[in-house]
Amino acid sequence: MTVSSTPESPQSRQPAAPSSEPASWSPSPRHVESDSDTRRTEPPPPIAPPPVHSEPGLHLARHLSCLVVALVLTPAGIGLLAYGGNRYLLMLTEGRFEQDTRGIAALAGGGLVLLIVASLGAWSPIGPLLSGLVYGLAPAAVFLAVPEDAVDWVVDAPVVSTGVEAGTLALLATGGFLAVGATLVGSGFTAALRRG
């Protein structure tokens, strides 16, 4: 006796009974940041340094002392530059090309003195600012505006040797005073900006 197996037709299949229990839907889990996580990622608040209280008297004394030192040293530095430059100028006009020890010492000393004046801006910007205006930019402006009067003032100035007088006129004519004034004013202005 043979039993023939026939494939079931799609119509003969019984549909599955629907489940009486509703299907439960659960969202995908999300990462919820806890307070401890946010505290770990935030940087600590910056700690402000304690305020520095300076006495007004000391503050004023520092500015005044810097101003006095700058006003004394600046003309000395310019005078050394004028003296050393005049010695080398005379040597070139005479056709001599040799080293002049006094001229080199005067030029180096004048540059060093003006460097000290420019460095006073770290102490107080008033010194380089005013000395650059008084001894640099103002004489340069006067020479450009009324050169004859400026030359007369240099010639009639007391306690000025012939070498310093000629070197000063050369500095005026070649823009040396303008360069010194611009450098010192720039130094004082930069120091004032850094303090502000």
pLDDT grade, residue 158 (50/70/90)? confident
C-beta separation of 85 from 173 below 8 A: no
Q: Is residue 148's pLDDT more than 70?
A: yes
Arithmetic mean of pLDDT, 176-183? 96
DSSP for residue 27: P
Q: 18 lies in a domain? A: no
CA distance 120 to 188: 8
pLDDT at site 187: 94
Domain membership flag for residue 14: no
Domain assignment present for residue 67? The answer is yes
Q: CA–CA separation, 181 vs 130, rounded Å?
A: 9
Q: Would the pLDDT of 5 be above 50? A: no
Examine residue 118 and state whether it is found in any structural domain, yes or no.
yes
Q: Which residues constitute the domain of residue 190?
A: 60-195
Q: Counting every residue, how long is the chain? A: 196
Judged against a pLDDT cut of 60, whether residue 195 lies above it is answered with yes
Is 37 within the bounds of a domain? no
In a domain, 142, yes or no: yes
Residue with tokens 């600046």: 74
Q: How many domains does the chain have?
A: 1
The string of pLDDT tens digits covering residues 50-102 is 554 456 667 788 889 999 999 999 999 999 999 999 999 998 888 887 888 99
What does the pLDDT read at residue 79? 95
Asked if residue 36 belongs to a domain, the reply is no
| Distance between CA atoms of residues 137 and 79, nearest Å | 16
C-beta of residue 154 within 8 angstroms of C-beta of residue 172: yes
175 is a domain residue:
yes
pTM of the predicted structure, to 2 decimals:
0.69
Structure tokens at 8: 């079931």
